[in-house]
Amino acid sequence: MKKVKNVDEYIKNAPAKYQLKLRQLRKVIQDIAPKAEETINYMMPSYSFGGFDRQVVFFGLQKHHFGVYFPPPIVEQHKEELKDYKITKAAIQFPLDDELPIALIRKLIKERLKVLNGK
């Protein structure tokens, strides 16, 4: 995707058939972390509470998947629940044509917020 200034532009520039899923990802993040700052970092939507060390989540449309990115240790702590997806230390890849597992994504965001809040 080309360089964009904000998340609205990011979604608008995505292929039409993926825009709904991108809006779903954005909505679930905004519902759970409504005060998180929404920016573009690494050419992807990013949500944080005042800086990179207070990062909640990134997401992005890649060539073959939707990527959702959490600072460690979230992915590692939930690797059993994520066994059906390709994962790395900080990334989860969801197939483009599958439904997004919104309940699971919601759970992971909540877990990240607990880490940020020291719980």
Question: For the whole model, what pTM was predicted?
Answer: 0.94
Domain interval for residue 33 = 7-116
Residue 1 lies in a domain: no
Q: Mention every residue, 6+ apart, whose C-beta is less than 8 A from residue 27.
A: none
Report pLDDT digits (tens) over 5-37.
999 999 999 999 999 999 999 999 999 999 999
**CATH number of the domain to which 54 belongs:** 3.90.1150.200
User: Which residues, in sequence order, are bridge partners of residue 97?
Assistant: none
Residue 90 lies in a domain: yes
Q: How confident is the model at residue 1 (pLDDT cuts 50, 70, 90)?
A: low
CA terminus-to-terminus distance, the chain: 37
Report pLDDT digits (tens) over 69-83.
999 999 999 999 999
If one counts the domains in the chain, the total is 1
Residue 2 lies in a domain: no
Encode burial over 34-70: b for 16+ CB neighbours within 10 A, e otherwise.
eebeeebeeebbbbbeeeeeebbbbbbbeeebbbbbb
